[in-house]
Amino acid sequence: MLASELRHELTRVTFPLNLAEHRVVRDIVCDYVCELRSLHWPPEQVIKMVKEIAHDVGFAPVHKHEALPRAGTDEDQLIADLVSWSITEYYNG
């Protein structure tokens, strides 16, 4: 059920995210991670699932193969946040 809620919330995301939207997405991700952890999913599988949901709704990191990296997009930052929140929640939740 939380996977559907996360999927739905990510479809509603518009950039730039305001603080309230950022918190809503973070809270749903953390709840989802707690649910998967309670089912004894390993952390790498949890992160994979969160990233798959993001990918399913159209988020994909921009892969840069340049000598000098540039700042990532808002989408790149959100994906990085999803992974960071997942790791933090898995181990600290």
Position 58 scores a pLDDT of 93
Provide the token pair at 78. 């959100």
- Using DSSP, state whether 41 is helix, strand or coil: coil
Residues 9-61: tens digit of each pLDDT? 999 999 999 999 999 999 999 999 999 999 999 999 999 999 999 999 999 86
pLDDT of residue 90: 97
The domain limits of the chain are 2-15+22-60+72-92
Q: Is 39 exposed, middle or buried (0-12, 13-18, 19+ CB in 10 A)?
A: exposed
Given a cut of 90, is residue 64 above it in pLDDT?
Answer: no
